[in-house]
Each structure stands twice: as C-alpha cells, then as structure tokens.
Amino acid sequence: MTADTLSLAGKTALVTGSARENGIGAAIARAFARNGASVAIHYVSDSSKAKAEKVAASIAREFGTKTTVVHGSVEDPSIANRIVEQTLKGLGADRIDILVNNAGAAGPRQDLKDTTKKDLEYEFGVNVFGTIYLGQAVIGAGKMPQGGRIINVGTIASKIAPPGTSVYAAAKAAQDSLTASWAGELGKSHGITVNTLAPGPIGPTDMSKPYIENTDGSEHPMKAAMLAQTRAADRIGTVEDMADAALLLVSEKSRWITAQWISISGGITGTM
C-alpha cells in the first residue's frame, strides 16, 4: 500500500494577491506548486508587476511546475472574469481547480468618527465584492469541477474586533458569511468545498508589519497582546503556517471539510 500524500499533480490554482515574496499569497502558491499544482500569481498595481514575475519565475525554477502572472482589480466583475481567463490561457488549462481569495484590503487603524465613504468602498470592495466576483468567475469561465476548492483568507479580527479595525473586521465578517453560504450552495450543486482560513498575527509581511512593529522598529503593543493569548509556541505565526493549512484544505484528504472558519493563530481564538 502506498503512503498517503497531499499531491496536487494535475491541479490548477489561482491565488489572488500573491505577488509579494514575503506574503501569505506567495507562500500558499509555493506550497501548492511544491506539491505539483500549476499556479497563477496575481497582482493589482503596475508597480507590483516585477514582483509578481519574480515570484512566478522562482516557483517555476524551484519546483518545475507551470506558472503564469495575471493582473487586475478583483472588485470589478469584468476584470475578475478576465483574471480567470488569463489564468486558463497562461496555464494552458481548461478549468481552475483551486481558488484562494487572498487579495485583501485593510485601511489605517481608525475610530468610527474618522471612517469615510472611501474607506468603506475600498475595504468592502476588495474583501467582499472581490470575493464574490472571483467566486462567480471561477464557477463560470473557470469551469471549476467536482472536487474544486475555494479558500477565503479571512482574519481573526472578524471575531475579536481589535480597536480601530471596525470596517476591516466587518468586511471580513461578511466574507465569513459568504464561506458558509457558498459551502451549501456549491457543495450540493458542484461538489466544491468552501472554507475560511483566518490568520492571527503573521509576519512580518507588508500588511502585518504596522501591527507588529512601530515606525521606529520597536515592538508594537498589539504584538505583545497577541503573544500573551497564543496557546501554541511562544511566537507569532509565519506565512508557512498559513500555506501548510491551505495545502491540507485543498487536498483530497479534506473532502468532508467545508463551511468552516479555521483560525491559524496558535490558538488565540479558542473554542471555549
């Protein structure tokens, strides 16, 4: 009897927001490629194009899998559809097996009185509308097959609501709701699982650094507060912690795991 594996050989994956070398998206893409999947690296701003190409080239060189680079703002439905079409063309594929909605938007820490219409449109646009539009696109143009996997990258902020993150936490809570709703809809009709992976403090990444370090390089108080609540090792999380969890969820071994909100936080969000 052969040993069980988490092989993704023959699978195609689109990981949004994966252009940053030190980011969660790039780490997830690397984990998938390491296990045989072809992956699309996605970026938004023109200034990130070279970074995305570097990530894709590094993955192809190290793991020998096919990669492509795709571009566009996920909060526009026509562009979301184009991102999926670019993925299929770039990978020479006829379907997308795995979607990771990792592209996220977190505005500055601020109180309710300082929140603007622009803040709301930006954070809900990327975190909620973008998740919906990419989901529609992979089911439609992407022809996600039976056994397909969708992972929404959330945050423990949607449960613990740290001060100054009300809009971001609310947007991610809406995304959490989509996970549960879609799991029933797409599981019954398409055999697709949908789950949320919710990181605690991970870093340092470009997005998490302001919550981990002060501008002078000293430790941010929030880091110490999160460390005090961690039940696992005495450290903050790494992008590899997220990537390994994602690998498990997209494997065949997780075929009966769906509609779940899974905290990747070293136990900050306990179940008691």
User: Residue 272 has what pLDDT?
Assistant: 63
Query: Phi and psi at residue 100, in whole multiples of 5°?
Result: -115, 110
pTM listed for this prediction = 0.94
Query: Phi and psi at residue 33, in whole multiples of 5°?
Result: -65, -40
DSSP-derived letter for residue 55 is H
97: closest CA among 55, 53, 150? 150
Unique residue bearing structure tokens 């219409």: 117
Summarize pLDDT for 202-216 with one digit per residue, the tens.
Answer: 877 777 666 677 778
Write out residues in the chain with pLDDT < 70, as ranges.
208-211, 272
Q: How does the average pLDDT of the chain come out, rounded?
A: 93
Q: What share of the chain is helix, strand, coil (3-state, %, to 5)?
A: 45, 15, 40
Residues 193, 255: contact at Cβ < 8 Å? yes
User: Residue 211 has what pLDDT?
Assistant: 67
Cα 149 to chain centroid, rounded: 12
